[in-house]
Amino acid sequence: MRVVDTLKTWARRIRSDALTLWFCARHPGTPWTAKLLALVLAAYAFSPIDLIPDFIPVLGLLDEAILLPLGILLCIRLVPSAVLQECRQRAADWLGAARPRPRSYVAAGIIVTLWALTLWAGWRFLSA
């Protein structure tokens, strides 16, 4: 049971940090590099579609288990501590109010477009 509880805690922390980055991306005190990275990470975290589908063994969990947490860690280091504190509080208030998590349909559209371009390029390569 301990492993399951640890994983649940870790998943809640990732969700909270992604929401914090969503607020950081909109905060005027966030530097533009951190703002851009926060926007990309939050959009991907809240996208209803994964870049690497979960049904692909090992690789399917790579983005959620490794890439997203590393990106969040990097971005949090780029955000000034006062801004980060304020955005963490806003995220905690949001989650405490049991509001639904944001959705990023733009990121979902970009992911679908990337998959379509990859499939098209593969088809062109194989049919040449």
**Residues 15-58: tens digit of each pLDDT:** 889 899 999 999 999 999 999 999 888 888 877 777 777 777 77
Summarize the confidence of residues 88-114 as an average pLDDT: 83
Q: Is the pTM of this model over 0.85?
A: no
Identify the pLDDT of residue 1: 60
Residue with token string 């209803």: 48
Identify the pLDDT of residue 24: 94
Q: Residue 7 — very low, low, confident or very high, per pLDDT cuts 50/70/90?
A: low
The C-alpha atoms of residue 85 and residue 92 are separated, in whole angstroms, by 11
More confidently predicted of 102 and 125: 125
Contact 95, 16 (CB under 8 A): yes
More confidently predicted of 65 and 37: 37
Identify the pLDDT of residue 81: 94
Summarize the confidence of residues 73-92 as an average pLDDT: 94
Please state the φ and ψ torsions of residue 82, each to the nearest 5 degrees. Answer: -65, -40
